[in-house]
Amino acid sequence: MTKSDALETRVDGLFAEWNKPDSPGAALAIIKDGVIAYKCGYGMANLEYDIPITPSTIFDIASVSKQFAGFAIATLFHGGELSLDDDIRKYLPDLPGFGNTITIRHLVHHTSGLRDWVQSMVIAGIQMDDVISFKHILKMVRHQKELNFQPGEEYLYSNTGYNLLVEIVETITGSSFREWTDAHIFKPLGMTNTHFHDDHEMIVKNRAYSYEPVESGGFKNAVNNLTALGSSSLYTTVEDLVKWIVNFDDKRVGGHTAIGQMHQQGILNNGEQIPYAFGQSIGEYKGLRTVDHSGSWRGFRSHLVRFPDQKFGVVILSNLASFPPQNLARQIADIYLADQLTSEAESKAESVEPDTAEDSIEPLTAEQLAEFVGDYYSEELDTTYAIIVREGQLVAQHRRNDDIPLTYTGDGFVGAEWFFPQVHFMRDDNGKITGFRLTGGRVRNLRFDRRGVKRERKNHD
């Protein structure tokens, strides 16, 4: 057995759990010095028709798509067609003003303060297997009332920002984003099995279907009707992504300027540099510099990592929600770059025992709970929750979401993650409850007003 064969056997062993005729799986490509060192498919692309995954199988790569939107912006910037410090309303004048200037640079680095559409839609009752189109997302952002924070103050991942980048590209170029990327990226690089999926009803030959594990065993379909251009919805193969990775070294498309711009990390208002660049995260793994990004949507899981100094890369695309592509990519790096990696030092920090002492929280009385009962409406999301009392506890009800029990914390309530993370009720000067705000994850201070109560400016938020 040659050294190459031995390496590939070890890699195959990492995927053995999914390399079965009754399991979804993954496609893999390993790149070394500009060529494919190894490629393989594991498991099934379609369980109903027994179609196996191959390196030519097409996947939705979810958020790994962002680097292509980043590249589009970098290309237009160095072509003199935009400035990164342009106010986005220069190109999208019908967006809300928010009282702060949001720049293209803010969108690129996730520092805009715009709420993430995924969590917002979940709160609004949109199911993830609904048809969620690019138009739906753009309509949602145009109804946003407030920012999570002042632009440039923080880094908080927002898919919404990358959707707006696409709209800016389309405004400047006069082409659809699919047309522009086909003409300026995919065709020049020979990525013949790659496209931005702008029609959820479009037939795509040789694509993998999306699956989730079932607790009792087996799998179920995770229906994917999303067309979130820029933030997601790039359909491609590991073979095509190899061509994209190689371009970072030979710079055939984009040249030194755009490729260099792709690695420029964001800087906050206070001067702090963040790891995120133009749809890529700049980091380190066991002493070696890395550039990577992961993706997750429905049953699709993806990871693309480059070790630029070693001219080494790994692409893993999967159609199973429980699949761990980032962990496997690192294990593959451990195999191929074993003589260059340093051991990760064990943390010498002393463990601190958690403080288990809890202040006694006096439960609310039935009379106090009754104060909160009512219907609460979000103008931003055009959705209503009913707050009721059930068995001595507040419960939030929505016509599409499951009931959400709210636990009293002494200064507010907590509910289900991503639905009702933290709930803070507002009162007027007379102590009457007028609404509440939701905060948690990628949505902060989302306002709901109580139906039948006049909204006063002096609400104590």
Read off φ and ψ for residue 442, nearest 5 degrees.
-105, 15
User: Given the structure tokens 């607790």, which residue do they identify?
Assistant: 215
Look at residue 357 and tell me whether its pLDDT is greater than 90.
no
pLDDT band at 280 (very low <50, low <70, confident <90, very high): very high
Strand residues in 117-159 grouped as ranges (E): none
Neighbours of 49 (CB within 10 A): 8
pLDDT at position 2 is 86
Domain architecture of the chain: domains with CATH: 3-336 (3.40.710.10), 366-450 (2.40.128.50)
Contact 224, 60 (CB under 8 A): yes
Contact 169, 180 (CB under 8 A): yes
Nearest 10 degrees: CA dihedral of 297, 47, 223, 294?
10
The Cα diameter of the chain in Å comes to 82
Which pair of structure tokens corresponds to residue 249?
């070294």
The Cα–Cα gap between 126 and 399 comes to: 11
- Report the Cα–Cα distance between both ends of the chain, in Å, rounded: 69
Torsion region of 442: left, alpha or beta (phi above 0 gives left; psi -120 to 50 gives alpha)? alpha
If DSSP codes are grouped into helix, strand and coil, which group holds residue 170?
helix
Query: How much is the average pLDDT of 365-380?
Result: 96
Lowest-pLDDT range, 17-26, 120-129, 230-239, 412-421? Answer: 412-421
**Going by C-beta distance under 8 Å and a sequence separation of 6 or more, which residues neighbour residue 426?**
433, 434, 435, 436, 437, 459, 460, 461
| Strand 300-307 relative to strand 312-318, pairing | antiparallel
pLDDT at position 344 is 64
- What percent of the chain lies above the pLDDT cut of 90? 90
pLDDT band at 360 (very low <50, low <70, confident <90, very high): low
pLDDT, one tens digit per residue, over 302-336 is: 999 999 999 999 999 999 999 999 999 999 999 99
Torsion region of 62: left, alpha or beta (phi above 0 gives left; psi -120 to 50 gives alpha)? left
User: Given the structure tokens 């933290």, which residue do they identify?
Assistant: 422
Query: How much is the average pLDDT of 417-439?
Result: 92
Contact 25, 319 (CB under 8 A): yes
Look at residue 119 and tell me whether its pLDDT is greater than 80.
yes
pLDDT band at 343 (very low <50, low <70, confident <90, very high): confident
Mean model confidence pLDDT for the chain: 93
Contact 400, 85 (CB under 8 A): no
If DSSP codes are grouped into helix, strand and coil, which group holds residue 320?
strand
Tell me the β-bridge partners of 296.
Answer: 301
Reported pTM:
0.92
Look at residue 355 and tell me whether its pLDDT is greater than 50.
no
Q: What is the Cβ-side half-sphere exposure of residue 55, based on CA atoms within 13 angstroms?
A: 15
pLDDT band at 353 (very low <50, low <70, confident <90, very high): very low
pLDDT at position 411 is 86
Q: How far apart, in Å, are the Cα atoms of 403 and each of 86, 116, 367, 389, 438?
A: 43, 23, 22, 12, 16
Q: How far apart, in Å, are the Cα atoms of 349 and each of 303, 345, 352, 354?
A: 30, 11, 9, 15
pLDDT, one tens digit per residue, over 146-174 is: 999 999 999 999 999 999 999 999 999 99
pLDDT, one tens digit per residue, over 179-203 is: 999 999 999 999 999 999 999 999 9
pLDDT at position 267 is 98
Look at residue 128 and tell me whether its pLDDT is greater than 50.
yes
pLDDT at position 90 is 98
pLDDT, one tens digit per residue, over 282-298 is: 999 999 999 999 999 99
The Cα–Cα gap between 250 and 254 comes to: 10
Contact 372, 415 (CB under 8 A): no
pLDDT at position 213 is 97
pLDDT, one tens digit per residue, over 438-461 is: 999 999 999 999 998 765 544 444
**DSSP-assigned letter for residue 319:** S
The Cα–Cα gap between 35 and 245 comes to: 10
Neighbours of 142 (CB within 10 A): 11
pLDDT band at 419 (very low <50, low <70, confident <90, very high): confident
Query: How much is the average pLDDT of 17-21?
Result: 97
pLDDT band at 362 (very low <50, low <70, confident <90, very high): confident
Q: Which residue, among 101, 139, 110, 142, has the nearest Cα to 442 in the 3D structure?
A: 110
